[in-house]
Structure 1
Amino acid sequence: MTIFSCSTCAIEHADSPSPPESCAICSDERQFLPKSGQSWTTRDELESHGYHLVVAELEPDLYSVTTEPELGIGQRGLLVRTPHGNVLFEPPGFIDEAGARRIQELGGIAAIASSHPHLTGSSIQYSHRFGRVPVYVARTDREWIRRPDEVIRLWEGEIELLPGLVMYQCGGHFAGSSVLHWPAGHAGKGVLLTGDTIAVGADRQSANSMRSYVNNIPLPERAIQRILDTVLPLGFDRLYSGFGELPADAHAIVERSLRRYVSWVRGDQPE
């Protein structure tokens, strides 16, 4: 039996003697398959090609966990350290022993979570490596679980992963799309980890939310409003998405950007 990962999104699939016929994640309208079509890889194959984990400090008690070379969608995993244990948010689709030892030096992992199905990576492999810690998946996204396992914990609405780290379900990109609030981050000014629930604009002065970023599918006003209603009561000055960050004034930027989105969807803006 082998753990196969989709070469396009790097999400692990259930142990099997041969690769699945297709990756449901990449076949969905929110994602894509390359012109070359569906292909698969394994941890051993990736390691033989030189892939390795890189763990780097972003700010006190927050570390990025990434692969070099870039793998799959290329998200940046985030390790949040707390006095009550560490949360790994959106692990990459690869793990090696050197990287795992570095994570262990930082206190290991007590819980694993992701903002939505696209960024679950090798969650189960990470869980098993660090003592079969719980992997939290929004209940409304359970159909997208590619590697079922007893460590998975379904949740909905709001959940405290560890004291001081709370997940909030926003919806939008996926029905279960969520954010992780870390009030102690950024020297107590508050940090929001958003994955693709709220993305950072290329200008680094804006934010956005879409049903599909790569295929340009927008969200309706009601979905954007739900995201606003969920995150605006939270205190945060800095935001880390799966691919970028807003280092300051993130709360104001998110509110301004998403209200601008609503205004355009309504047709309030001149053409």
Structure 2
Amino acid sequence: MTDEVPAGFDREWVEFFDPADSDTMVRADLTWLLSRWGCIFGKHPDQGGCPGIEANQPADGCCLHGAFYTDEADIRRTREVVKKLTPETWQLHRKWKHTIVDDTLENDEGEEEPAKKTAVVDGACVFHNREGFPAGAGCALHQQAMRDGVHPMEYKPEVCWQLPVKRDFKTEHRADGTDVSVTLITEFDRASWGPGGHDFDWWCTSSPLAHTAVEPVYLSYAVELTELLGAAAYEKLADLCDERERRGLVAPHPATAANGPTPLPPPVRLVPSPAERAR
């Protein structure tokens, strides 16, 4: 597809020390967090829905290659949720023995390391219910979370609920001899996928098609960002985003800007509940 904005556009950043951890600096991408990106999976592409990362599998969205697990806790959580699924809610229930497979993942040094991920069956993740399934297409784990009335992040692999927010960690050595831990929050763009990301037929974060949400990302992803940063750091970030929203960005996201200026109400922040904060 050709509707994506070119990579390498200007971005605005903000950085601050975590109120709950004075040794950690948060560096956040305001251009991304104040964009109007929103997931458009679930509607047919002809109706403005997700075209998918593979043109011949639009109904499968970005669920084609499986999800890498971050650690054993990530695996255990998913296994517990799988026990809740039935043949009526999961298309491949008891039809596929191994939902976890061995693979490799490139580390920060560019070396391949052993990793585990969700299995891929007939061109999509083992947990992805295909188009035409009576319970509806989409992630069986996500759908179970909706039925149980919990946030999908409690049931899905970490990489799935984080996307398309990208969190990275680094340590900066300063001229005064001190080291500062930095947590970066930005857009999970094509390049973030590695070389394979450039082979996608379409990717949502750079497409105006997916930049039509009413709320900016820092509000629509409040629960996820709170989990990624901690409650105190998220509150500080949201305050800074509120102020930048009022003042206006110098470097707005071009995929949002491509849809033209849209009068929007002042941001209303939905503060995560105590239970969500405690996770």
TM-score, normalised on structure 2? 0.28
Bigger Cα Rg: 2
Structure having the higher helix fraction is 2
Asked which structure has the greater RCO (Cα within 8 Å, sep 6+), the reply is 2
TM-score w.r.t. the length of structure 1 is 0.29
